[in-house]
Amino acid sequence: MKKKYFYIFLFITLFSLDLQAQDSKSFGATKTQEPTIEGLAIYPNPVNSGKIYITTKSSLDKKVEIFNVLGKKVLETVITSKEVNVSNLAAGVYIIKIKEGDATATRKLIIN
């Protein structure tokens, strides 16, 4: 009986080690990350006024996309200033994606 448990333990241990090795290969150093936006600030969040402000260290144009919780794009704009009008969006939780140059950032946005 002890021999049977030993083999089961050995099999589970080897199987879990193999899974860990596969995970480290697929998520290793070969995967490149997109650069992040330095000094990104989105305010106010939650939004009550119908406008949000997006600031960064850079003064480049920003492509702003807002998605609802189902993944449908509900707003897309390019801003040269820091103000985005969100007054036409219903109250709820959204995902905001900002692209500035090669850098991209994604955040949660709450509209009251």
- Within the chain, strands assigned E span 41-43, 51-55, 62-67, 73-79, 83-85, 92-100, 103-111
pLDDT of the residue at 31: 54
Which residue has tokens 């850098």? 103
Q: Give the model's pLDDT for residue 21.
A: 47
Q: Note the pLDDT of residue 64.
A: 97
Under 8 Å between Cβ of 85 and 64: no
Write the CA distances from 82 to 6, 11, 52, 71, integer angstroms.
Answer: 64, 58, 8, 24
Give SS3 for 7. helix
Mean pLDDT of the chain: 82
Whether pLDDT at 17 is above 70: no
